[in-house]
Structure formats: structure tokens, C-alpha cells
Amino acid sequence: MSEDQSTSQIPRGEPYILFDEWYAQARVSEPNDSNAMALATATPNGAPSVRMVLLKGHGADVGGQGGFTFFTNAHSRKGEEIRANAQAALLFHWKSLRRQIRIEGALTQVAPDVADEYFHSRSRASQLGAVASDQSRPMDDRETFLARLSAAQERFGDGEIERPAHWTGFTLTPTAFEFWLDRPNRLHDRRRFERAGERWADKLLYP
């Protein structure tokens, strides 16, 4: 076994710092949506669902306890599942780097001013789409949605578009991180961090 294979290439330490290092590299190397992450939620009965969302804020100081923030329609399927069961998991997979990061924790809703600020940073078309869409609800045909979009355009004209109360953001505060690094012959490198009071405990995992 070579020296390179005999030691872990995932360092110990602070998982937020390691996330920042990997994320910065992904922002350069990943061709599309390096901030894309799979968000897994579940009903109170444990039925899971997963979808891709975009990371819009992160860091050790986000929300006072550190976290990862995304925005959505709270009336959507994921929004309803979050309301009913605030535990969730994230997965970042960067194929260009052959790396992935799993993050687990509880979700809390962002403050209204935070939701307002991000909502109004989006393109005007995206804002109107958020007003017009009953996300995840059944739709008879696309013309119905386009008619609602036209009605929203007429309603707001050239003025500021009001953020719907149900369009908001959530921050996942991690209780665990798991970093995965591809190695030859599927002898992958994995390190898991779990919160232990005010610090993080880590351990290597078998591939």
C-alpha cells in the first residue's frame, strides 16, 4: 500500500472550515450549480422524500448557531414536511472533485426580514413566479399557471412585488457532518463529525 493510501486525506478539526475549503474548490471546478444540494425530509410517520435545492447562505455564525440556508414555498411538499418534522439532511455531491458531504440536523425558519431581503434579490420574473405558483399542488394545465402569472404582473405593475407570507427560508443547524473522498478501488476516505456540547468529535468510517 502506498503512503498516500495509508493515511486519511480528510483532516480533523472544524467541519465548517473544511466545508468552506471544499466548497470554494467546487465553486471553481464544478460546471453547473456548485451550490446545489439534495434536501431530504420526512413525514412524522417516516416516509422520506428528497429533491435538489440551492444553498443561499452558510457558515458557523448563520442563525447564531451556524447553519445552511435555503428558500422555498412553505406550502410545498417539502415545506409541509418541514413543518411536521423539522429534522432533515443535506447532501452535496461534486463530481468534478469526486467528493461529497452529508449534513444532518434540525431546521428553523428564517426571520421575515431575511426572507424579504433574499426574495427581492431574485429576478423579477422569479418573484412573480413565486407569487403565481401553488408549488407542488395539482394543476389542470399550464395555461392556468400562465394566466396566474399574467394576473400577478398586472397586479404589481412596475412596483415592488410583495413577498408571499408562505415564501420563506429555513436554516439547517448541523448536529453531524460526514465528508467523503473518492479513492481508487472503492477504498474511499470517510470522516464523520458529531457535535459534542460546544465542540465537534470526529471519527473515521470504513468505506
Q: Are residues 102 and 37 in the same domain?
A: yes
Cell of residue 82, nine digits: 418541514
Domain carrying residue 140: 121-162
Low-confidence spans in the chain with pLDDT less than 70: 1-6, 63-64
pLDDT score, position 1 = 46
Q: For residues 135 and 49, state if they share a domain.
A: no
Residue 70 sits in the same domain as residue 108 = yes
Alpha helices in the chain (DSSP H): 3-6, 15-29, 77-84, 112-119, 124-132, 142-156
One domain for residues 8 and 63: yes
pLDDT at 25: 97
Quote the number of domains for the chain. 2
> CB-based contacts of 16: which residues, under 8 Å, 6+ apart?
59, 60, 66
Residues 87 and 129 in one domain: no
The answer to whether residues 140 and 178 belong to one domain is no
* Burial readout 78-99 (b: 16 or more C-beta within 10 A, e: otherwise): bbebbeebeebbbbbbbeebeb
pLDDT of residue 71: 97
C-alpha cell at 12: 480533523
